[in-house]
Amino acid sequence: MTHLCVSIPVDAADAVGAALAAAARGAERGASMVEWRVDALVDALGGAQALPHVRALVRGAPVPSIVTVRSAREGGDWHGADDERVSFLEALCAASVPGEAPAFIDFELADFGRSANLRQKVELCVVHPGQVRDVGTRLVLSAHGPEGRPADLVRSVAAMADAPSCTVAKVAWTARSVRDCVEAFELLLARPKPMVALCMGEAGVMTRVLAPKFGAFLTFARAGGPGDADAAAAVAVGTAPGQPTVAELVERYGFGCIGPRTQVFGVVGWPVAHSRSPEVHNAWFRERSQDAVYVPIPVAPGWESFKASLSELLAFAPLDFRGASVTLPHKEHLVRFVRESGGTVDAIAARIGAANTLCVAEGGALRCTNTDAPAAVDALVAGMGIDRAALRGRRVAVIGAGGVARAVAAGLADEGATVVVFARRADRARAMCDDLMRGTDAGAACGAFEGRVVAGREGELGCGCFHAFVNCTPVGMEGGPDPDGNPLEDVALDGAVTVMDTVYSPRETPLLRESRARGARCVDGLAMFMDQARRQSELWAGLS
């Protein structure tokens, strides 16, 4: 069993009540352990004055406790001498009242190994083969890399394995790429004793979610966050970058149902923290009882980054990576990757030159397709109040020249619309239009589309001759490069035109808000998002 541990910082005596209330809510939502991060409290008050408050935390906890006084050297708030910190832990673990000694204490390997005297003092606090005291607390030895993978990671794990007093080995470092996550999984599979191996930061979220798949002793979660009932409490912030809330792990990711045979899917892009895809796809997996989980996989821009990350995911067989939604800026990279890997590029993806869906068959064969194109057409015609046939002869301005723009332009042109493409770089817009009109695949015939895709000229966006505008850039996206931007800010709009945004987070972008105020019909990105996601989910349900 992998414990779900809610990690709660307590920095002042008057925060004890709120911390205990947060722990109770965490336990109600599925947490089976609580970590009390009391380094700031002990540092501020001193060990003797802090001791009764920490005992109150342990005594009042609804689930077994870990007590951590993290050194500032490894990202904590304890700035005092090591012997003072150990004296506090010894007094805590020697509690004579039942229920006031924690189940575990966490102590850093680097300090544990600094001197034999310090190590002996720590070992007085915990269960080990040579212990003569009547204690019930066990030791978590830990090593951290806030700046990235520690150079001595493998040596640290070996040292923890060799320490008889170490019950649980824990390593945590800030992930910079998918490779860091895979290495954490490899450590768990080769663990010599109960182990925690996780990566911090946005790139490490999958290690927290997939901890049960690889047999980790526990994973950490925070008590609350924005929009959560705990938002007003200081405990909501968590204790390390990238910690999901308890509710997110349980309700969004189905933490309690993840096991060794769980298939892994994800959303690959940059950024992905805003994506609703994990929420949507995990709910659909549960509805059809598919043993699968969908996680965020941030991959930095660039072909080499994408190629390296996908290669790592596919090469690590124990992950059972079976597919992905691929979003900005990697949709064109996906087509290239599948081709170079000897996989199958569906006709629609080949024609567009971009794909948003990767499927991995049981034997490892790759296939990619594009569900954006049909979803975009469905969303736009619904917003315009017409059927597909009525698109013939309509003029639609598409803003952008990336993978989404390619899919939208292709889908609309296939229905007979005239698509005019506008982009910051005119050469990219022209190249995209040339590709689409001649076909991106060697076997595609010229004039593959019934309509036309042409590059717009400077100043033509506001010519007044378009029936619809579709934004296919990240302008207006939460967490994107220009969240307050509006690509049609200087274009006259009225009730005769329809404005569609492919951005769905937020649902009401500046573009839609201002276009609606000018009288235009508006289509938010959620309809297209849900349609393309549904098509992806159906493909993944059929994998064998």
In the block, tokens 């925690």 appear at: 196
4 burial via Cβ count (<10 Å: 0-12, 13-18, 19+): buried
Q: What is the DSSP letter of 317?
A: G
Residue type, 389: A
Q: How far is CA 38 from the centre of its chain?
A: 28
Retrieve residue 24's tokens.
Answer: 């109770």
Closest among 492, 530, 490, 488 to 510, alpha carbons compared: 488
Neighbour order of strands in the sheet with 357-360: 292-298, 263-269, 321-326, 357-360, 366-369, 344-345
Is the peptide bond prior to 329 cis by the omega test (within 30 degrees of 0)? yes
Retrieve residue 202's tokens.
Answer: 């946005």
Q: How many CB atoms lie within 10 A of CB 17?
A: 11
In whole angstroms, what is the distance from residue 139 CA to residue 157 CA? Answer: 15
Write down the catalytic residue from 121, 170, 213, 331: 331
227 burial via Cβ count (<10 Å: 0-12, 13-18, 19+): exposed
In whole angstroms, what is the distance from residue 354 CA to residue 296 CA? Answer: 20
In whole angstroms, what is the distance from residue 358 CA to residue 351 CA? Answer: 16
Retrieve residue 518's tokens.
Answer: 């000018």
In b/e form, how buried is each residue of 39-50, taking b as 16+ CB within 10 angstroms? bbbbbebebeeb
**CB-side neighbour CA atoms (13 Å) of 81:** 4
In whole angstroms, what is the distance from residue 401 CA to residue 395 CA? Answer: 17
Q: How many CB atoms lie within 10 A of CB 270?
A: 17
Establish whether 331 is a catalytic residue: yes
Provide CB contacts within 8 A for 91, sequence distance 6+: 47, 51
CA dihedral 520, 524, 528, 531 (to 10 degrees): -120
In whole angstroms, what is the distance from residue 299 CA to residue 317 CA? Answer: 20
Catalytic residue numbers, as ranges = 331
